[in-house]
Amino acid sequence: MPVSFFDNSPEVYALAEGLTFSLENERHPLCLLAAEQLQLHLQHQQEWNHNFGLSSEAEGTVIGKMFGVLVVRTEQQGLGYLAAFSGKLANGNYHAKFVPPIFDGMAEGGFLNEGMTKLTQINGEINTLELVENETYKEEIRLLKILRKTHSLSLQNKIFDQYHFLNKDGESKSLVELFESAGYKSPPAGAGECAAPKLLQYAFHNRMEPLALAEFWWGLSPKSAAWKHGQFYSPCKEKCAPILAHMLTR
């Protein structure tokens, strides 16, 4: 169980007294303590390698990452926090100290790997025929591009079907249902992979009471984004708002 427990001291438990979860709350002192502990872990752990762009010695593409901490109370009244990362970390979904993904698309033998292999094959056929530059293949290329689009959409919809989210009462709703109810034609790519839904899903599944949430950016920011290393941010609206609205209903 990836719960990191706080020191069993009266001062820590006093901070949690009367605490009720809300996304509108200011960052709670326990969240700041949890974030500080997680950031120390990120700086000193030796279990995996991920290039956050913070060291000139790191190899590979620079990918900053959003992390989240959720302060929880367990069924046994223990007080601690859960940690999560958005998307994948070090090309993987599972790492010690972090909650698991809601859906593991990287599972060996899963439909996603098979589907991506087929997509790569179709792309290869299109590229080969386009290099020939022969009018004879124009229709074949057109049909292959239609097949690629159809396959890609089908694969994305099948991925969406794997995501179901719990609320505190154990009620589960699908990703597609949540976004359709919110007026979207379909969920955006990557919905369900952010830190906040992962944290709440794990907490509800394991009968923990969420108390407070905080998310921070770690590493260099993509050129198109304004995220700053070590700064705190609210959960994104584009990918998270419909999901969290359901997960936090009472």
Domain borders along the chain are 135-163
pTM, to two decimals: 0.87
- Predicted pLDDT at 250: 67
- Predicted pLDDT at 189: 87
pLDDT tens-digit profile, the chain (250 residues): 689 999 888 998 899 998 889 888 789 999 999 999 999 999 999 999 999 999 877 777 889 999 999 999 999 999 999 999 999 999 999 999 999 999 988 777 778 888 889 999 999 999 999 998 788 899 999 999 999 999 999 998 888 889 999 998 999 999 999 999 988 888 998 899 999 999 999 999 999 999 999 999 999 987 767 889 999 999 989 999 999 999 998 6
- Predicted pLDDT at 226: 80
* Span 189-224, pLDDT tens digits: 889 999 999 999 999 999 999 999 999 999 998 776
Nearest C-alpha neighbor of 195 from the set 103, 112, 98: 98
Nearest C-alpha neighbor of 87 from the set 110, 72, 70, 104: 104
- Predicted pLDDT at 28: 93
